[in-house]
Amino acid sequence: MAYHHGNLRAELLARAETVLAEDGVGALSLRSLARDLGVSHAAPSRHFADRQALLDALAVEGFERLGAELAESTSGDGGFEDRLTWLALTYVRFATRYPALLEVMYACKYRDPQDKVRAASAACGEILLDLFDGSGASVADAERFGVILLAALHGIAALTAADSLPPGSSADDLAADTVGRLLRGSRLTG
Amino acid sequence: MAYHHGNLRAELLARAETVLAEDGVGALSLRSLARDLGVSHAAPSRHFADRQALLDALAVEGFERLGAELAESTSGDGGFEDRLTWLALTYVRFATRYPALLEVMYACKYRDPQDKVRAASAACGEILLDLFDGSGASVADAERFGVILLAALHGIAALTAADSLPPGSSADDLAADTVGRLLRGSRLTG
DNA sequence: ACCTGAACACCGTTCAAGT
DNA sequence: ACCTGAACACCGTTCAAGT
């Protein structure tokens, strides 16, 4: 059989994301992806050293997409709190839309700090910090607030993705509410 | 070879927790557990229908242990905020101590609401709600605050377990800080 | 009731060999 | 440079058979 692809890597990633969304991480295997693409089971190894490398690439893609959505959501005009709220909603909706992808993105344990996934994740954090420019808050206050808000949003996102929120609670409401309470409780621009 | 165990189930769980703590979820296999315990590879199936059933049992154990620690941490005297803070610290420290177990506990996607894992998880939530007795807050306010706080703590715990907090941030400080800000921002006992 | 042993279908990973 | 095919060691799961 002739060579099948010039862009096997991209096709593997695309197919992997579909499988991930439809059947979860557990259903992702290099062999089945190769089968789906009509390629030998060993072909993926040329593009991904191992299964983890594929998951890492998916995580990077995920952070890049999340970052793009966050950047867009905060690009409009509006007050500081409004922009924070938009960012929060965007984050939480991403988790609703791609729960399995979010899981892969944050299953990045014991990775060295130089990692690509970590860098992609940090870029998302930067977008939040940028919102504080001209807010009147000191850099230290902004960074502290940023970590706390990010952790809180991640909690809502993770519980949403795991379908572990009490019935009747909307992730959107929770996110906006959390932003409001943290803001009021932080005396940021005092 | 004679029968090896009368309590194979308990030994499997114990060994599984060790493996989980040392090498992560990925290293957990029914076959290797059986090997470690000197039992045939099919023996575990008598006690756990499949691999997921073992993970579920670990998750239930985890929630029970967490619940016991939370209950103990809030049993002392002290003001409302102090007790909330102790609960928060206990939660977050659990995540530091058993990161892989926490991951298993919250990897409970797409489970029916009757599930044992969900029940064990809900019991932990109850402990938080009990703290509001006599706090002056309405039940609705308490439940809302409880969900928000739990999500925020879970976020800190998850990022801690994934080692994804910015360097220099202590999970303890973050948890206590979050409790304070949420409390101040919530006008609970107004 | 509880465990064994063989069997089946699936993995990840490696590597010589093809084009 | 990129892919194939065979090979190896590992899985989960099932099931007849043993005690």
Is residue B106 predicted with pLDDT exceeding 80?
Answer: yes
Q: Tell me, what's the pLDDT at A134? A: 84
Q: Tell me, what's the pLDDT at A1? A: 43
CB contact under 8 A, B151 and A185: no
Between B163 and B154, where is the model more confident?
Answer: B154
Q: What DSSP character marks residue A111?
A: -
Torsion angle (degrees, nearest 10) of CA B49, A166, B161, B155: 160
Tokens of residue A175, six digits: 């996110």
Residues 6+ apart with CB under 8 A from B101: B17, B20, B21, B58, B62
Measured in whole angstroms, the distance separating CA A95 from the mean position of its chain's CA atoms is 7
Taking any CB pair shorter than 8 Å as contact, residues of chain A touching chain B are 24, 99, 103, 106-111, 113, 118, 121, 125, 143-144, 147-148, 150-159, 161-167, 169, 174, 177-178, 180-186
Concatenating the DSSP letter of every residue in chain B gives -----S-HHHHHHHHHHHHHHHH-GGG--HHHHHHHTT--TTGGGGT-SSHHHHHHHHHHHHHHHHHHHHHHHTSS---HHHHHHHHHHHHHHHHHH-HHHHHHHH--TT--TT-HHHHHHHHHHHHHHHTTTTSS--HHHHHHHHHHHHHHHHHHHHHHHTT-SPTT--HHHHHHHHHHHHHHTTTTT-
- Find the Å distance, CA of residue A144 to C1' of nucleotide C3: 57
CA separation for the pair A158, A154 (Å, rounded): 6
- Which residues of chain A does B143 touch, with a Cβ-Cβ cutoff of 8 Å? 166
What's the pTM value of the predicted model, to 2 decimals? 0.94
Residues 6+ apart with CB under 8 A from B65: B94
CA separation for the pair A107, B103 (Å, rounded): 9
Give pLDDT tens digits for B171-185: 999 999 999 999 999
* Nearest-CB residue to A164 (from B24, B108, B167): B108
Q: Tell me, what's the pLDDT at B175? A: 98
CB contact under 8 A, B152 and A178: yes
Is residue B2 predicted with pLDDT exceeding 50?
Answer: no
Give pLDDT tens digits for B82-101: 999 999 999 999 999 999 99
Residue type, B141: D
- Nearest Cα to Cα of residue B43 among B87, B2, B76: B2
Task: Count other C-beta atoms under 10 Å from residue A50's C-beta.
Answer: 11
Is residue B1 predicted with pLDDT exceeding 50?
Answer: no
Q: Tell me, what's the pLDDT at A96? A: 95
Residues 6+ apart with CB under 8 A from A138: none
3-state SS of A90-108? HHHHHHHHCHHHHHHHHCC
Q: Tell me, what's the pLDDT at B139? A: 95
Length of chain A: 190
Instruction: Determine phi and psi for A111, rounding to 5 degrees.
Output: -105, 145
Interface test with B, best of A22, A117, A148, A172 (most B CBs within 10 A): A148
CA separation for the pair A9, B32 (Å, rounded): 33
What mean pLDDT comes out for the span B153-162?
95
CA separation for the pair A39, A6 (Å, rounded): 12
* Nearest-CB residue to B152 (from A155, A161, A166): A155
- The alpha-carbon gap from A151 to the nearest alpha carbon of chain B, in Å, equals 5
Residue type, A124: C
Interface test with B, best of A102, A104, A143, A164 (most B CBs within 10 A): A164
CA separation for the pair A146, A179 (Å, rounded): 11
Alpha-carbon distances of A138 from A122, A187, B136, B165, rounded to whole Å: 20, 12, 35, 20
Length of chain B: 190
> At which residue do the structure tokens 């101040």 appear?
B184
Q: What domains can you pick out in chain A, each with its CATH number?
A: 1-48 (1.10.10.60), 59-186 (1.10.357.10)
- Residue % of chain B over a pLDDT of 90: 84
CA separation for the pair A35, A31 (Å, rounded): 6
Q: Name the residue of chain A whose CA is nearest to B186's CA.
A: A181
User: pLDDT tens, position by position, for chain A (190 residues)?
Assistant: 445 677 999 999 999 999 999 999 999 999 999 999 999 999 999 999 999 999 999 999 999 999 999 999 999 888 999 999 999 999 999 999 999 999 999 986 667 777 899 999 999 999 999 999 988 999 999 999 999 999 999 999 999 998 899 989 999 999 999 999 999 999 876 4
